[in-house]
Amino acid sequence: METKAAYNELPQVSELRDYSISLNLPNAYFWANDDKLTSPYKRKAFAALECELQGLDNEAWEFLKGEVLPRLRSRHPTRGWHQLFDTLNEAKGYNHLVRIGCTSVRFIPRSKTDNIQTPDLRGLLGANPILYEVKTINVSDNEAIRLATGGVGETRLHLETPFLDKLSSVIHAAATQLWRSTKI
Amino acid sequence: MTRRLVYVVFNFDDRLHEYADEYQKQIEAFLASASPPGVEVVLDIKSSFHAASLQRDGA
């Protein structure tokens, strides 16, 4: 696929790509000579991302873009651009709220006060306010190192205790965050 | 009454989602007893753009 066609079909992803290229930094996610949007295999994932971004209204897209742009240059040594994608996953949360019938769905700006973490989103379901937090559980440390250095992967039939402990920790942290945010 | 939801996106080591259905059953069983009260948990098991996050090459 030609780059121009990719830009037409993936306009919001292309906006991110253009910004990334303009940084001209080795740790930027997109480069001018990459094939992320033109290779059929790679493009599939970005088409899925574009689909999520298309679900945002203008205000939500502008907000999320403001959160995402700085993360286009934030590369972890073994986990790559996970912060970028953790943030982009918030679009999935927005779309989920819309799908279940929420109105007035909005991203919540981050608190400027230390030690106070605001939820990611809010909305209304009927008369009930909704507070919403999006969390991402990424690949294990072992897998992250394997992806960064190469090697043979290992897939397990069942999730093990450390994973479930991490899941529990993530959900309880989110719950605490949501219950502390009664005044939003 | 305010409802509180947590949406959890899973990027498993099993990037091809070969065992995702098994994992989902295990997670649902785990959360049935481990979820905090007053919070609804939504699972995104087969993340649609997980592969993009794994692309590390600049070209």
Encode chain A (184 residues) as per-residue pLDDT tens digits.
Answer: 566 777 889 999 999 999 999 999 999 999 999 999 999 888 999 999 999 999 999 999 999 999 999 999 998 888 889 999 999 999 999 999 999 999 999 999 988 776 778 999 999 999 999 999 999 999 888 888 888 788 777 778 899 999 999 999 999 999 999 998 765 5
Nearest chain B residue to A38 by CA: give it: B59
Place of tokens 């498993």: B12
Strand, helix or coil at A132?
strand
End-to-end alpha carbon distance in chain B: 50
pTM equals: 0.92
pLDDT for residue A119:
95
pLDDT for residue B58:
45
Q: A18 Cβ partners below 8 Å, 6+ apart?
A: none
Task: Say whether B7 and A172 touch across the interface (CB within 8 A).
Answer: no
The parts of chain B modelled with pLDDT lower than 50 are: 58-59
Strands A128-137 and A121-125: antiparallel
Strand, helix or coil at A138?
coil
CA distance B33 to B36: 9
Name which of A46, A93, A138 is nearest B52 (Cβ-Cβ). A46
Residue ranges in A24-129 assigned as alpha helix (H): 40-54, 58-68, 82-88, 90-99
Interface ipTM: 0.91
Q: Which two tokens stand for residue B14?
A: 């099993």
A105: chain B residues, CB-CB within 8 Å: none
Cβ A133 vs Cβ B42: under 8 Å? no
In chain A, positions 48-67, which contact chain B (CB-CB < 8 Å)?
48-49, 51-52
Q: What is the largest distance, in Å, between two alpha-carbon atoms of chain A?
A: 53
Total residue count of chain B as it appears in this document: 59
pLDDT for residue B56:
61
